[in-house]
C-alpha cells in the first residue's frame, strides 16, 4: 500500500541572496496510512513550513512529495486546490469558521467546492457533526458555540470530504485543558476508524497522546519515533 | 463550483452585513436614479417642445426679422417686416394659402377696477386659419374691421374669465393702454406655446394696433413683429420657403445678408432638437459621473472587504476553493450589489420622473430601454469595479491569509 505522505529530499528556501532563509533542508519523511503522528520542534525549526508543504499550501523549492501516491510537485494551483479539497482536511488553532454560516453550512462548504449535490451535502454534514458529538447544534452559528464546540465543527468540516489525511495545526492551542482532552479524544477516535492524522503541536502532553512523534530542528527531521521519555528530555533541552 | 452556488454564497455574505451592503449600494442607487431622471426629463423637454411645434401643423412657416447671424449678434432686431410684405406674399406667392401678420406687445388691460398685463396681438382675420385658433363665443374681427381701424377686441379665454367670470363679455367695453375697445368675441382655450400662455392675450385688428397702441416706428412701412404663413399643403412647404425668400429679398433689395429669416416647422424642430439634445446629453453626463463615482465606491468597499476577510479567503482556499472560485465569488458580490442598487435606483428615478410629469408640463417618459440600459450598466460597473478587488482576493496566499492576526 502507498504511504499517505512521502517526502524525499525536500528543500524550502525563502528570500534570495543575503536574506536567504533555509526553512527546510533535506527533509525525508514517510507517513503510512492509519498513522497518528505529531510534529514538534522549537519555533523556527521548520515544522510549520513542513506542514504547509504537506498540506499543499506551499511548494517545496526542490525535492519530491508524493501525497497518496501522487507527485504533487508539478501540479497547477487549480489542481492543488482540487487535491486540498478531496484528499486533505485542515484543522486550525483559530478554528476559522465563517461567522455568517451555521455549523451545518460551515461543514457543507468543502462539499460546495467539490460540487456535491445539496441533498447529499446536508446528509453528510449532519453525519459528520453527529460524529463529533454536535448532533444537537446543527443550526447554531459559531458565536453561539463554545471554543471546544467550534473546534469540533472545524473537525467535522475537515473530515466531511473523506480525506486521506487530516492535518491539524496546533488544534488545541486555543482551548483549555478540559476541552483539549475532548478534542484529542475525537482525533483518537477518527484515527482508530482509519483516518491518518498529522498534527503540529508544541505541547508535549498533546504529543504524547499520538502514536508517533517527529522532532524538527533547523529545517531537518532531527528525531523520529521519539518515546515519551525521549520527549521529556527533548523538551527540557529545548 | 457553479454560478448558482456562488450566487447563494454571495447573497449570504451580503445579507450578513446589511448596513455595509446598503451603503455600498447607495452610490449606485443615486447614480442610477439620477441617470434615469435626468434622461427622462431631457427627453420630456424634447418631446414637449416638439409637440408644441407639431401642434402648429406641418404647413406653417414663420417669417421673423433679422438673419440667423444678426440674431446672434444683438437682441435689438431691425424692424424690417411690414404689413406690405404680408400683403405682397398673399398676392404673389402661389404656394401660400393664407398669411397672418402679427404685431404684438405686452400692455396693461383693464375692465372696471380689474387690471392685467396681457399680450396684445394685432393681426388680420387670416390669423384664425393660419394658427388654427377658433372663436368660442361671438365673432373674430373681419377685414372690414381692419380697414376701418375699429376698436374691437377678441379676448383670450383666461382674460375673459379673469374680467367677466361666467358673465357674458360680448358688447362690454375694456381698455387697452387706456383706449376703449368693444369685446366682440372670446377665443377657444389654446394652452401655452413654448411657455407663453396664449389664453392670456387679447386680439385686435392689426391696423388699430399699429395706429393706436404701438405707433409705427418702422421706416419701411407698417411694422409687424412676425408673419405666419400657411403653405397650400405639406408638399409645398419647401417651394413656399424658396418663393418667400426670393420675394422678400427682392422687396428688401437684399444684396448681401438677409434681414429676415423664413423658418419652417422642420427648422424649428431641428433647433429645438439641437438645444434639448444638448441639454439631455449634459444631464446624462452629470448623472453618468455620479454612476461612475458609485462604481468607485463599490471598488473601495470591496477592497476593504477583501482585507477584512483574509481569514475567510485563506480558509476557503485551504478547503479547496481555487483562485477562480474566489474571483467569481467576489465579482458576483460586486455585481449583485450594483445590480440591486441599479434596480432600486431605477424605482427611485422612475418615481422622480412621475413627479416631474405631475408637477410640470414636461411629460417625461420612462422608457423600458432606458431602465434596461441603466440596470445593465450598473451591473457592468459592478463587474468592472469588482474585478480589481476580486483579483486581490483571489491572489491572496492562503498561508499568509490564515496566519494574519
pLDDT per position as a tens digit, B201-216:
999 999 999 888 888 7
* A114/B320 CB distance under 8 A: yes
Q: Can you give the residue ranges of every domain in chain A? A: 5-237
ipTM of the modeled complex: 0.91
In a domain, B346, yes or no: yes
In a domain, B67, yes or no: no
* A52/B399 CB distance under 8 A: yes
B223, B258, B293 - which closes a domain: B258
Q: Which pLDDT score, from 0 to 100, does residue B367 have?
A: 67
* Per-residue pLDDT band at A238 (split at 50, 70, 90): low
Domain count, chain B: 2
Whether the predicted pLDDT of A149 surpasses 70: yes
Q: Are residues B250 and B110 in the same domain?
A: yes
Residue B359 has a CB neighbour count (10 Å cut-off) of 8
Residues in A closer than 8 angstroms to B319, CB to CB, are 84-85, 90, 109-110, 113, 157
In a domain, B69, yes or no: no
**Span B258-310, pLDDT tens digits:** 888 888 888 878 888 888 888 888 888 887 788 888 888 888 888 888 888 88
Hey, what's the cell of B310? 483574509
Closest CA to A3 of A64, A69, A55: A69
Closest CA to B54 of B236, B262, B234: B234
**Span B74-109, pLDDT tens digits:** 666 677 888 889 999 989 998 999 999 999 888 899
In eight-state DSSP terms, residue B257 is: S
Q: Are residues B147 and B107 in the same domain?
A: yes
Whether the predicted pLDDT of A236 surpasses 80: no
Whether the predicted pLDDT of B363 surpasses 90: no
Q: Which pLDDT score, from 0 to 100, does residue B51 have?
A: 80
- The residue segments making up the domain with residue B366 are 3-51+271-403
Q: Are residues B232 and B105 in the same domain?
A: yes
**DSSP state string for A173-187:** TTS-HHHHHHHHHHH
Q: Are residues B381 and B322 in the same domain?
A: yes
CB-count burial class (<10 Å; 0-12, 13-18, 19+) for B335: buried
Q: Are residues B96 and B45 in the same domain?
A: no
* B321/A113 CB distance under 8 A: yes
Q: Are residues B244 and B289 in the same domain?
A: no
* B399/A82 CB distance under 8 A: no
In a domain, B177, yes or no: yes
In a domain, B226, yes or no: yes
> What mean pLDDT comes out for the span B55-73?
80
Q: Are residues B332 and B251 in the same domain?
A: no
In a domain, B68, yes or no: no
B258, B288, B317 - which closes a domain: B258
CATH number of A5-237: 3.40.50.300
In a domain, B390, yes or no: yes
Q: Which pLDDT score, from 0 to 100, does residue B99 have?
A: 93
Which residue of A78, A86, A112 is in closest CB contact with B1? A112
Number of A:B CB contacts under 8 A? 66
B258, B281, B315 - which closes a domain: B258
* A96/B315 CB distance under 8 A: yes
Amino acid at each position: 500500500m502507498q504511504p499517505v505522505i512521502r517526502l524525499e529530499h525536500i528543500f524550502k528556501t525563502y528570500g534570495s541572496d543575503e536574506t536567504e532563509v533555509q526553512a527546510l533542508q533535506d527533509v525525508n519523511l514517510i507517513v503510512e496510512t492509519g498513522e497518528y503522528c505529531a510534529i514538534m520542534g522549537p519555533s523556527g525549526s521548520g515544522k510549520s513550513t513542513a506542514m504547509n508543504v504537506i498540506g499543499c499550501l506551499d511548494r517545496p523549492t526542490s525535492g519530491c512529495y508524493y501525497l497518496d501516491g501522487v507527485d504533487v510537485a508539478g501540479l497547477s494551483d487549480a489542481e492543488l486546490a482540487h487535491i486540498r479539497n478531496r484528499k486533505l482536511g485542515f484543522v486550525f488553532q483559530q478554528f476559522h469558521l465563517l461567522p455568517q454560516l451555521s455549523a451545518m453550512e460551515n461543514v457543507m462548504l468543502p462539499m460546495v467546492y467539490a460540487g456535491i449535490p445539496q441533498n447529499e451535502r446536508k446528509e453528510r454534514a449532519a453525519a459528520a457533526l453527529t460524529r463529533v458529538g454536535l448532533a444537537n447544534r446543527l443550526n447554531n452559528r459559531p458565536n453561539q458555540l463554545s471554543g471546544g464546540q467550534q473546534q469540533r465543527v472545524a473537525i467535522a468540516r475537515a473530515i466531511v470530504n473523506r480525506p486521506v489525511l487530516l492535518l491539524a495545526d496546533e488544534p488545541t492551542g486555543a482551548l483549555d485543558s478540559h476541552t483539549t482532552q475532548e478534542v484529542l479524544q475525537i482525533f483518537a477516535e477518527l484515527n482508530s476508524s482509519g483516518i491518518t492524522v498529522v498534527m503540529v503541536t508544541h505541547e508535549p502532553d498533546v504529543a504524547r497522546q499520538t502514536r508517533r512523534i517527529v522532532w524538527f530542528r533547523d529545517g531537518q527531521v532531527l528525531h523520529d519515533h521519539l518515546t515519551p521519555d525521549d520527549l521529556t528530555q527533548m523538551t527540557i533541552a529545548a | 463550483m457553479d454560478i448558482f452556488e456562488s450566487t447563494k454564497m454571495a447573497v449570504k455574505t451580503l445579507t450578513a452585513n446589511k448596513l455595509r451592503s446598503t451603503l455600498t449600494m447607495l452610490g449606485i442607487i443615486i447614480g442610477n436614479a439620477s441617470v434615469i431622471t435626468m434622461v427622462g426629463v431631457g427627453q420630456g423637454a424634447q418631446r414637449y417642445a416638439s409637440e408644441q411645434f407639431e401642434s402648429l401643423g406641418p404647413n406653417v412657416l414663420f417669417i421673423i426679422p433679422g438673419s440667423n447671424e444678426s440674431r446672434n449678434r444683438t437682441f435689438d432686431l431691425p424692424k424690417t417686416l411690414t404689413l406690405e410684405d404680408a400683403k405682397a406674399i398673399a398676392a404673389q406667392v402661389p404656394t401660400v394659402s393664407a398669411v397672418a401678420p402679427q404685431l404684438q406687445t405686452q400692455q396693461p388691460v383693464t375692465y372696471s377696477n380689474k387690471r392685467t398685463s396681457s399680450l396684445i396681438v394685432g393681426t388680420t382675420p387670416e390669423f384664425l386659419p393660419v394658427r388654427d385658433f377658433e372663436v368660442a363665443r361671438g365673432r373674430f374681427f373681419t377685414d372690414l374691421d381692419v380697414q376701418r381701424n375699429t376698436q374691437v377686441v377678441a379676448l383670450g379665454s383666461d382674460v375673459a374669465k379673469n374680467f367677466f367670470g361666467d358673465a357674458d363679455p360680448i358688447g362690454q367695453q375694456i381698455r387697452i393702454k387706456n383706449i376703449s375697445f368693444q369685446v366682440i368675441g372670446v377665443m377657444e382655450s389654446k394652452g401655452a406655446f413654448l411657455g407663453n400662455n396664449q389664453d392670456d392675450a387679447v386680439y385686435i385688428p392689426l391696423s388699430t394696433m399699429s395706429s393706436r397702441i404701438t405707433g409705427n416706428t418702422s421706416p419701411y412701412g407698417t411694422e409687424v413683429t412676425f408673419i405666419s404663413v400657411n403653405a397650400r399643403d405639406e408638399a409645398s412647404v419647401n417651394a413656399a420657403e424658396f418663393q418667400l425668400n426670393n420675394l422678400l429679398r427682392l422687396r428688401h433689395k437684399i444684396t448681401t445678408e438677409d434681414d429676415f429669416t423664413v423658418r419652417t416647422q422642420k427648422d424649428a424642430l431641428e433647433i429645438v432638437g439641437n438645444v434639448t439634445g444638448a441639454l439631455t446629453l449634459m444631464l446624462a453626463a452629470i448623472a453618468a459621473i455620479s454612476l461612475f463615482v458609485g462604481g468607485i465606491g463599490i471598488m473601495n468597499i470591496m477592497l476593504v472587504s477583501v482585507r477584512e476577510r483574509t481569514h475567510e479567503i485563506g480558509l476557503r482556499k485551504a478547503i479547496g476553493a481555487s483562485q477562480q472560485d474566489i474571483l467569481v465569488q467576489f465579482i458576483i458580490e460586486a455585481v449583485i450589489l450594483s445590480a440591486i442598487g441599479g434596480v432600486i435606483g431605477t424605482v427611485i428615478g422612475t418615481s422622480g420622473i412621475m413627479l416631474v410629469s405631475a408637477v410640470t408640463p414636461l411629460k417625461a417618459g420612462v422608457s423600458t430601454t432606458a431602465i434596461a440600459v441603466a440596470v445593465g450598466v450598473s451591473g457592468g460597473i459592478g463587474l468592472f469595479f469588482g474585478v480589481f478587488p476580486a483579483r486581490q482576493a483571489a491572489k491572496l496566499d492562503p498561508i499568509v491569509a490564515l496566519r494574519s492576526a
